[in-house]
Chains A and B, each alone.
Chain A
Amino acid sequence: MGEFTVHRVRFFDYMPSAIRAVAFNPRTERLAVARADGAVEVFNFNDNYFQEKVIPGQDGRAVEALCWVGRRLFGAGLNGVITEYDLENLRPRYTVEAYGGPIWTISCNSQGTHLAVGCEDGTVKMFEILQERIQFQKNLDRMKGRIISLSWHPSGARIAAGMMDMIRIFDVESGAATHRLLVERGMGVSRSTEVVVWGVVFLSDSTIISGDSAGKVQIWDGSTGTLVKTHLVTKWDVLALSVSQDESSVIAGTSEGTVVQFQFISATVGQQDKDWVRTRTFKNHSHDVRALAHTDTAVVSGGMDTQLVVRPLLDKVEKNTQESALRKIAFPHRSLVCCAKKAGLLLFQFSDHLELWRLGESDGQGTPGDSLPVKRKPEKVMELKRRGEDHICCSALSPCGGWLSYSTVSSVRLYRLQHDNNNISINKMSKLPKELRSVHQLCFSSDSSKLFASSSQSSVVVVALSQLECKYLHTLKHKSGSRQPVHLLSPSEDGKWLATANTDCEIHVYNLHKMKLHCTVPVYGSCPTAIAIHPTTSHLISVHADQQIFEFSLLQKEYTEWSRKLQKQGLHPLWLQRDTPVTHVTFNPANPEHIILHDTFMFCIIDQSLPLPETKTVLYNQLTLRSLPVAERIRQSHAFKICKSFQHLLCVSLMEDRSLVVVERPLLDIMAQLPAPVRQKKFAT
Chain B
Amino acid sequence: MAALYEGYTLCGLVPDLNLCSSGIQGVEEERDGDHVIVTDSSRNVTLYKVSDQKPLGSWTVKQGQTLTCSAVFNSQTKEYVAVSDHRVIRIWKEEDVLLDKTFKATVSSDICRVHCAHGGDPVVLFQRGAVRQLESLLSAPQQPIEEVLPQEEVIRWSTSILAEAQQFVIFTTEQKGDQFLYLQRLNPNSLQRYRLEREEPGLFPLSFSASYRDKHIFLLYLYPNGHVYQSVVPVRGLVVEEALPLPRNLLLGLPVCEGQLEAASAIVLDEAHVAVVGVPHPSAGAGKDFLCIWNTNFQTLQAGKEMAGKIYGQLWSYSNKLFIPHGKTLSVIPFECPKSSLASALGKLKQSKTEACFTFPPESKAPASVPSWNNILHGEKAQPSRTVETRKTRTTRRTQSAPSLTIEQILELVMTAPVEEVQKAVEGLLCRADLQDLQPSVGQLASSLVSRSLADPAFYPSNTLTQLVHTQYLCHSVCPALVLLALEKKDYFLCQLCLQFFPDIPEAVTCACLKAFISMPDIDAEKANLEPDSVSFMETLTLKERGQAGMQNGFSPTTFQEDHSDAIGAKQTRAEDKEKATTPPELICPVGLHKAVLLNEVLQTAYSDTFLLPHLKDLSSQHVVLFLQYLQFLYLKYSQDALPQAHGFRSPSLNQIMDWVCLLLDAHFTVLVMTPEAKGLLLNLHGFVKAQVKLVCELGKIEGSLQEINKMKAKKDVGQYSIEVIELF
Contacts and interface: CB of A to CB of B under 8 A. Distances in A.
B729 to A, nearest CB: 4
Interface in A607-655: 622, 625-626, 633, 637, 641, 643, 645
Counting chain A CB atoms within 10 Å of each CB, which of B719, B721, B724 scores highest? B724
Contact of A374 (B723, B725, B727, B729): B723
Contact of B724 (A8, A377, A633, A641): A8
A42 to B, nearest CB: 34
A10 B723 contact: no
A39 B724 CA distance: 36
B712 interface: no
Interface residues of B, number: 12
B720 to A, nearest CB: 5
A674 interface: no
A409 B352 CA distance: 79
Contacts of A374: 721-723
A637 B729 CA distance: 7
Nearest to B727: A368
Interface string A554-587: 0000000000000000000000000000000000
A378 B722 CA distance: 10
Contacts of B727: 1-4, 368-369, 626
A371 B724 contact: yes
Interface stretch (A61-69, A221-229, A359-367, A480-488): A359-367
A498 B599 CA distance: 93
A362 B724 CA distance: 10
B725 A8 contact: no
A366 B725 contact: yes
Interface string B692-723: 00000000000000000000000000111111
B726 A4 contact: yes
A10 B719 CA distance: 7
A553 B728 CA distance: 28
Contacts of A4: 725-728
A374 B719 CA distance: 12
A371 B723 contact: yes
A377 B726 contact: no
A377 B721 contact: yes
B720 A10 contact: yes
Nearest to A378: B721
A369 B725 contact: yes
A625 B729 CA distance: 6
Given A6-B723, A7-B721, A605 B728 contact: yes
Contacts of B728: 1-2, 4, 605, 622, 641, 643
A633 B729 contact: yes
A368 B723 CA distance: 11
Interface residues on A, range: 20 to 34
A2 B727 CA distance: 6
A368 B726 CA distance: 5
Given A1-B728, A625-B729, A360 B719 contact: no
Contacts of A369: 724-727
Interface string A4-26: 11111111000000000000000
A132 interface: no
Interface in B557-605: none
A368 B724 CA distance: 8
Nearest to B719: A10
Contacts of B723: 5-8, 360, 362, 371-372, 374
A10 B726 CA distance: 17
Contact of A626 (B721, B724, B729): B729
Nearest to B717: A371
B729 A6 contact: no
Contacts, number: 72
Q: Most chain-A Cβ atoms within 10 A of its Cβ — which of B718, B722, B723, B727? A: B723
B394 to A, nearest CB: 63
B729 A8 contact: no
A370 interface: yes
B635 to A, nearest CB: 39
A9 B724 contact: no
A349 B729 CA distance: 34
Contacts of A622: 728-729
Interface string A588-611: 000000000000000001000000
B726 A645 contact: yes
A11 B729 contact: no
A637 B728 CA distance: 11
A633 B727 CA distance: 13
B606 to A, nearest CB: 42
Contact of A6 (B718, B719, B720, B726): B726
Contacts of A641: 728-729
B725 A11 contact: no
Contacts of A5: 723-725
Contacts of A370: 724-725
Contacts of A643: 726, 728
Contacts of A11: 720-721
Contacts of B724: 5-6, 8, 369-372
Contacts of A1: 727-729
Contacts of A9: 721
Contacts of A637: 729
A11 B718 CA distance: 12
A641 B726 CA distance: 12
A368 B722 CA distance: 14
B535 to A, nearest CB: 54
Contacts of B718: 8, 10
Nearest to B729: A625
A367 B726 CA distance: 8
Contacts of B719: 10
Contacts of B725: 3-6, 366-370, 372
A232 to B, nearest CB: 37
Contacts of B722: 8, 371-372, 374
Contacts of B720: 10-11
Contacts of A366: 725
A633 B728 CA distance: 11
B726 A3 contact: yes
Contacts of B726: 3-4, 6, 368-369, 643, 645
A360 B721 contact: yes
A1 B727 CA distance: 8
A10 B720 CA distance: 5
A378 B636 CA distance: 64
Nearest to B725: A366
A625 B728 CA distance: 9
A368 B727 CA distance: 6
A362 B723 CA distance: 7
A489 to B, nearest CB: 29
B216 to A, nearest CB: 48
Nearest to A634: B729
Contact of B721 (A2, A3, A8): A8
Contacts of B729: 1, 622, 625-626, 633, 637, 641
A5 B727 CA distance: 9
Contacts of A368: 725-727
Interface string A326-369: 00000000000000000000000000000000001010001111
Contacts of A377: 721
A10 B729 CA distance: 26
Interface of A: 1-11, 360, 362, 366-372, 374, 377-378, 605, 622, 625-626, 633, 637, 641, 643, 645
Given A4-B727, A8-B722, 7 more contacts: A5-B725, A7-B721, A10-B720, A368-B727, A369-B725, A626-B729, A643-B728
23 contacts: A1-B727, A2-B728, A3-B726, A3-B727, A4-B726, A4-B727, A5-B725, A8-B718, A8-B721, A9-B721, A10-B719, A10-B721, A11-B720, A368-B726, A369-B725, A372-B722, A374-B721, A374-B722, A377-B721, A378-B721, A605-B728, A622-B729, A626-B727
For the complex of A and B, the 9 pairs showing the least CB-CB separation, nearest first, are: A368-B727, A625-B729, A366-B725, A372-B723, A1-B728, A362-B723, A11-B720, A641-B728, A3-B727
